[in-house]
Structure 1
Amino acid sequence: MRQIQLAVAGAGLIGRRHIELIQESDRCQLTAIVDPGPAAAEVAENADVPLFGSLGELFEKSRPDGVVLATPNQLHVGQALECIAAGVPALIEKPVAHTLEAGERLRAASERATVPLLVGHHRAHSPILAKAREIIQQGKIGKLVGVMGSAVFYKPDDYFDNAPWRREAGGGPILINMIHEIGNLRSLCGEIVAVQALSSNATRRFPVEDTVAINLRFENGALGTFLLSDTAGSARSWEQTSQENRSYPSYGDEDCYVIAGDMGSLSVPTMRLKTYARKEDRSWWKPFETVVADIERADPLERQLAHFCDVIAGAAQPLVSVYDGLQNLRIIEAIAEATRTGATVNMGRASATV
């Protein structure tokens, strides 16, 4: 079987991870790296592939089956439009765009085109999330009532020393970390239509926030609360509970989401399920039936790459569309606005997905 030919644009940290995954895969082959930076030459030499300074140069000289866009955020939309024009499918690292206006332009272009675009919210490919969605959709916890979520962890001082912009507006956990959580929550609980939020910088005293308390309203009527902090000594984050990224220590007794319905609750990622056997048994005086759902563990980035190959081959539609990536960004912007204004930010009913 012919291997799918892939190029990677961007030879930074996440770009190099994509390069490693492609090189380890039997289904695809790395054919080029696109990056005008001086450090990219060594990456391309080590990978034994040609280096191009731009997508335009790449498309003039060769036409890969797909491109992974692991470039700075402000380049995502322009480069994705180049891929559409060249007829080359693209995997766009999150966020899909650096502004909502730019994201809307890409969404409109993607609707008109037949070239598939996959947005790199890799957690959407987590088998843990897939199992949690299955349990919820099967109605095992009943009608969804609410979700309690957290992403509470401690970023060390060198995280900020190595990139001082992270101390300034735009460098805090709302824009850097929360977009992952929004993708997860939308996947599990449905569209988010309104947000409230309070933020604080009382611990680090940086100009940017370090802690945020968020309220969410979902389109189906469920409510949610979420605590976000990058300055708290806690393990209640996806990275420290899911065991999907071995770079982080993991704690098997911790959860980062508890999803509650009118028949029971599901804790994620421990997958502890507490349910009432019958509607007639629903009472805080009555015991739950308790089980732990079986799950498999796999690297979502590896699964995302396999899915991208399926998309290129025409065997699958993008699991995370431009619409999904844009909706995640829209909700993040709403949370940031709510912290500035103190108002409830309403987004109305979600429009049809692409």
Structure 2
Amino acid sequence: MNDGKDFRIGIMGFGLRANLAQYAHQPGAGSRVVLVADVQARGRADAVERIPGVEVVAEVDALLARRDELDAVLVLTPDHLHAEHATRALEVGLPTFVEKPIATTLEDADRMLAAAARTGTRLYVGHNMRHMPVVVAMRRVIEAGTIGDVKAIWCRHFVSAGGDFYFKDWHADRSNTTGLLLQKGAHDLDVIHWLAGGYTSTVSAVGALSVYGSITDRRDNSDRRMRDWYSLDNWPPTEQKDLHPVVDVEDISQANLVLDNGVLASYQQCHYTPDYWRNYTVIGTRGRLENFGDGPGAQVKVWTRRTDAYTPDADEVIEIPAVDDAGHGGADPLLMAEFVRYARDGGPTLTSPIAARQAVAAGIAATESLRSGGGAVGVAPLAPRVAAWFENGQRRTA
């Protein structure tokens, strides 16, 4: 390793999640982005503009050819390319950060985890919501036993930005994402699993392409970036323009989950709401909690006494403070700091490659269910030998 010097990081893909580079590039403070690979000239130009002194190449091959100049790599390419690019980085022994979701098929996710286990290379998946203050606050209430044993979790996800975020570029094509219950839902499915202390075993779901499928104004936006078209003025949803030529993912969906520890959960997602936030309700044997807002200024309310009506005056109210850095409520810098520390030194992490895989597996099973009549679909298990590697902290056993 690069002992005594900045940890040297390469980046594959400089597009939608390139904002993570600012937290990885901390020269003099422990880490430095030294090399970026992006097939698009715009991505390479953005990297040069935003990262002083960085070198850029057009192909992943060119980045991997300079493996000896790197201590770790961030895989920020589109979701359907994660497995190919991460597996190749793992095969050459580079500790690897993969943006969530870990993959868009279970085969790809398992291939990536198997490569990490086989090569003994550290793998980290960027589930930044585990660092979001509102999620951390809810988990602390649960861990304290305030609401007793968790028995049910409900999550409603309102996505006002759906038309701009997911229906104007590659996200709209299921061949790139499988569906938004996976691509978007993997974030919340992971949080549900984390709060519940278990993983989904069976799931049933319904969904539809209820608004954006009927919009005929289409355009190939590969020459643009999201910030080129995103606007709050793109409203109402039925008047969206310049949608992707292929739109075949659902814009509304609802999934019911049975977890392996008996917890029941539900997840609802809509991509044409006027507001944008997540609302969780967690019910235990001694009370319940609910968040109101999910960013700075939000509240987590906890009720632990029986009443005969709803009361907004909860027994405990946790205020979510503002942070200097607004990257997902301050989660993004914490996420990157944890990855750099883990890639360099090892040790425990809030995130988990197994959990990332299980979130994708639940999203895939839910998508299969909603596209085949809504019946219950089981979640395939991870190979025991691979699971053992990660359960042992990605360390070899004697």
Aligned to 2:22: 20
**1:192 alignment counterpart:** 200
In 2, are the aligned partners of 1:8 and 1:33 still within 8 Å (CA)? Answer: yes
Alignment partner of 1:30 is 2:33: yes
Matched, 1:309 2:350: no
Structure 1 partner of 2:96: 90
- Matched residue SS, 2:332: helix
How much does 1:322 deviate? 2.8
Distance 1:144 1:165, change over 3 A: closer
Partner Cα separation in structure 2 for residue 42 and residue 308 of structure 1: 26
Q: Which residue of 2 aligns with 1:60?
A: 65
Q: What amino acid is aligned across from residue 194 of structure 2 in structure 1?
A: S
SS at match of 1:197: strand
Which residue of the other structure, out of 232, 238, 262, is the alignment partner of 2:285? 262
Tell me what 1:221 maps to: 262
Aligned-pair identity in percent equals 22
Q: CA offsets per residue over residues 145-200 of structure 1, 9 Å max, x none?
A: 21121002323655567437627675853233211111111111121112111113
Alignment partners' CA distance in 2, 1:86 and 1:32: 16
Could you say which residue in structure 2 is the equivalent of 1:42?
A: 45
Distance 1:88-1:208 versus aligned 2 partners, 3 A rule: closer
Of 159-168 and 127-136, more deviation after overlay is shown by: 159-168
TM-score scaled by length of structure 1? 0.83
Amino acid at match of 1:32: L
- 3-state secondary structure, aligned to 2:25: helix
Give the paired residue count.
330
Residue 4 in structure 1 maps to residue 36 in structure 2 = no
Deviation at 1:85? 2.4
Unaligned runs of 5+ in 2: 215-247, 324-328, 391-398
Cα RMSD (Å) of the superposition?
A: 2.8
Cα distance in 2 for residues equivalent to 1:132 and 1:345: 29
Contact 1:55 1:82 (C-alpha < 8 Å) held by counterparts: no
1:37-66 deviation line (CA, Å, top 9, x unaligned): 222332243222111233432343342111
**TM-aligned CA deviation for residue 348 of structure 1:** 7.2
Per the alignment, in what secondary structure is the counterpart of residue 186 of structure 1? helix
* 2:219 equivalent in structure 1: none
| Correspondence 1:196-345 to 2 at 5 A | 196-206=204-214, 207-235=248-276, 237-238=277-278, 256-268=279-291, 269=294, 270-276=299-305, 284=308, 290-293=315-318, 295-296=320-321, 298-341=329-372, 342-345=374-377
Q: Summarize the Cα distance change of 1:203–1:222 in structure 2 as closer, same or farther, 3 Å threshold.
A: same
* Kept after mapping to 2: 8 A contact 1:8/1:32: yes
Residues 63 and 85 of structure 1: is their aligned pair in 2 closer, same or farther, counting only changes over 3 Å?
A: farther
CA contact (8 A) 1:160 1:167 kept: no
Q: Report the counterpart of residue 347 of structure 1 in structure 2.
A: 379
CA contact (8 A) 2:192 2:265 kept: no
Q: Which residue of 2 aligns with 1:245?
A: none
Structure 2 counterpart SS, 1:202 = coil
